[in-house]
Amino acid sequence: MNNTDFVSRIRDNVTRAFSASAQDRTAAFIDMGTNSIRLLLVRIEPSSGTFSILSEQKVTIRLGENEFADHYLQPEAMQRAVTVCKQFAQMARSNDADHIIAIATSATREAKNQAEFVALLNEEAQIKLRTISGIEEARLIYLGISRGIHLEDKNALMIDIGGGSTELIVGDQDNHHHLDSLKLGAVRLGSMFFLPDETGPIDAARYAVLRQYVRNSSIRSIQKLEPHPFDVVYGSSGTLENLADIAIQMFEGRSRQPEDTLKYEQLTQVVEHLCELSLEERAKVPGINTRRADIIIPGAAIIHTLMEELGIPELHITERGLRDGLLVNYLQRSENAEMVEEGSVRMRSVLQLGRRCHFDEGHARTVADLSLSLFDSAKEIGLHTTKNRYRQLLEYSALLHDVGIFLSYNHHQEHSYYLIKNADLLGFDQTEIGIMASTAFFHRKKRPSDKHAQFKELDKPSREAVRVMAILLRIAESLDRSHKNAVTSASFRLEGGNIILDVVCEQDCQLEILGIYHHKKLFRKIFDREYEVNLISSVEQSAEVDELMS
């Protein structure tokens, strides 16, 4: 394939992937918060069982500014919200949005002039705003977070600190067990404890008063958590993301990575440092969002106090939240619920990537099943001692090993590596994504070696796992070389000290048998053993196969 053909192939595939079909529809989700308005624009594609994020937008409007004293939204704040919503609505309609779902939270639900604001949005932006309760807000936050993280059998405490309220949720992968909403938020506390023109440092005594207010306001909510133990804590919202950004910059001197956590000890030092600074100096702290400089300390007081009272040493940061929950809730109530309910978070994310790349799903599932059978049987006879947590990664690697064909068959293992590494797969950490991408990269052509950057960047346990996973994936791929499911099962066993690979075939499987003989050399290099093939077939095979088996 020459360069012209390659570019043409990419252009055709991208056009196909991003062109709407007759069944596709677009939905817009607007989260009207106390501090910001967020937009999520999504195209839903029933034919492929996937959805695509078309746009994500966020604008700070401070809707709750100077509201919480008398519970009236200020005219200037309402007008800022209307202006942004008109822009968001125009963007949604220009993308042929079939539905615009808009919800409002703390600032609007507590406003005495709520009806006036809702009517203003309906008249000027043609948006029907629905105000939700604090408990419904917590439920939607749960949906957004839980459908984007991998909890396995753990219970998680989820904390979302908004501008006007803080939500506390306990739940597992599938269900929430506790939902609560507190009238504590970064904008709310900022307006209660600080004057609008106050720009100086904050002394320790004043910060202590702020924390005592949080403690007094949350005592009942903390007591309600006692019957709901949790194993891990996740923090959502811009406040927590920004505090984590500052902490990582202060202690690590780098940008925050997805695996980084916000530690209580580090948070304590971050707060002490921020309080020592004027507003102008605070806005220059590495990692801070300058638009949050005036509310970062009130927000910090909330999480600082909750972490202390609940004995939380660290929390994981997630970018998911209410806006994502709106999408999940919408899909759950539609005929496309399988998009957010099919299998685990990880499996849904993997299948969505594969389907977006128009992969051969039947072949991918066959190779995945064969890979797992080879992994299990090889471990049973002592060929490897790879931990079972890698077994699941092998399954996902097998499902995605050919997604690079979406760009070009030539060197498609390299394209698969790139797509897996950069697809923002949900439920995986960066190490796991690197393992899957490397396993897909080495499923053909090159062998795992330190001379390859893709392999060298992994830690030693991960490299050892990839060596095993890659050779098993190569064999499994060859066992469905014709893409017709000719081989129904394959497994290793010991017979008189020899390793036998039993291959059960109900069709002509000449390509498959020829293929697995090519992997004997690499198999010997990895395991220091050789295998012999035992073909179990009810149909007559070709002379070439008979010759190989003789």
Distance of CA 116 to the CA centre of its chain: 38
How far is CA 446 from each of CA 176, 414, 452, 474, 518, rounded to the nearest angstrom?
46, 10, 9, 11, 13
Which CATH code of 3.30.930.10, 3.90.1150.10, 1.10.3210.10, 1.20.210.10 fits the domain covering 345-549? Answer: 1.10.3210.10
Residue range(s) occupied by CATH 3.30.420.150 in the chain: 149-319
pLDDT tens for residues 212-238? Answer: 999 999 999 999 999 999 999 999 999
- Give the pLDDT confidence score for residue 401 in this predicted structure: 95
Q: Is the pLDDT of residue 21 over 90?
A: no
Which of residues 549 and 329 earns the better pLDDT score? 329
For the chain, helix (H) and strand (E) counts, in that order, are 23, 14
Which of residues 540 and 81 earns the better pLDDT score? 81
- Contacts of residues 405-408 at CB distance under 8 Å and 24 or more positions apart, as own/partner, are 405/357, 405/359, 406/13, 406/17, 406/357, 406/358, 406/359, 407/9, 407/10, 407/13, 408/1, 408/6, 408/9, 408/10
- Give the pLDDT confidence score for residue 85 in this predicted structure: 95
- The proportion of the chain whose per-residue pLDDT surpasses 70, expressed as a percent, equals 94
- Give the pLDDT confidence score for residue 7 in this predicted structure: 44
pLDDT level of residue 543 (50, 70, 90 thresholds): low
Q: Report the distance separating Cα 265 and Cα 270, nearest Å.
A: 9
Q: Is the pLDDT of residue 13 over 80?
A: no
Architecture of domain 21-132+324-333: 2-Layer Sandwich (3.30)
Residue range(s) occupied by CATH 1.10.3210.10 in the chain: 345-549
pLDDT level of residue 451 (50, 70, 90 thresholds): confident
- Give the pLDDT confidence score for residue 50 in this predicted structure: 86
Q: Is the pLDDT of residue 10 over 50?
A: no
pLDDT tens for residues 524-536? Answer: 999 999 999 998 8
- Give the pLDDT confidence score for residue 302 in this predicted structure: 98
pLDDT level of residue 97 (50, 70, 90 thresholds): very high
Residue type, 123: E
Which residues, in sequence order, are CB contacts of 272 under 8 Å at separation 6+? none
Q: Is the pLDDT of residue 482 over 50?
A: yes
pLDDT tens for residues 494-504? Answer: 998 899 999 99
Q: What is the mean pLDDT of the chain?
A: 90
Q: Is the pLDDT of residue 72 over 90?
A: yes
Q: Is the pLDDT of residue 550 over 70?
A: no
Other residues' Cβ atoms within 10 Å of the Cβ of residue 115:
10
Residue with tokens 């600074």: 277
Q: Is the pLDDT of residue 143 over 60?
A: yes
Model confidence, pTM: 0.79
Q: Report the distance separating Cα 103 and Cα 132, nearest Å.
A: 7
Other residues' Cβ atoms within 10 Å of the Cβ of residue 59:
15
Q: What is the mean pLDDT of residues 460-471?
A: 94
Q: Is the pLDDT of residue 459 over 50?
A: yes
Q: Is the pLDDT of residue 340 over 80?
A: no
- Give the pLDDT confidence score for residue 497 in this predicted structure: 87
pLDDT level of residue 211 (50, 70, 90 thresholds): very high
149-319, CATH topology level: Nucleotidyltransferase; domain 5 (3.30.420)
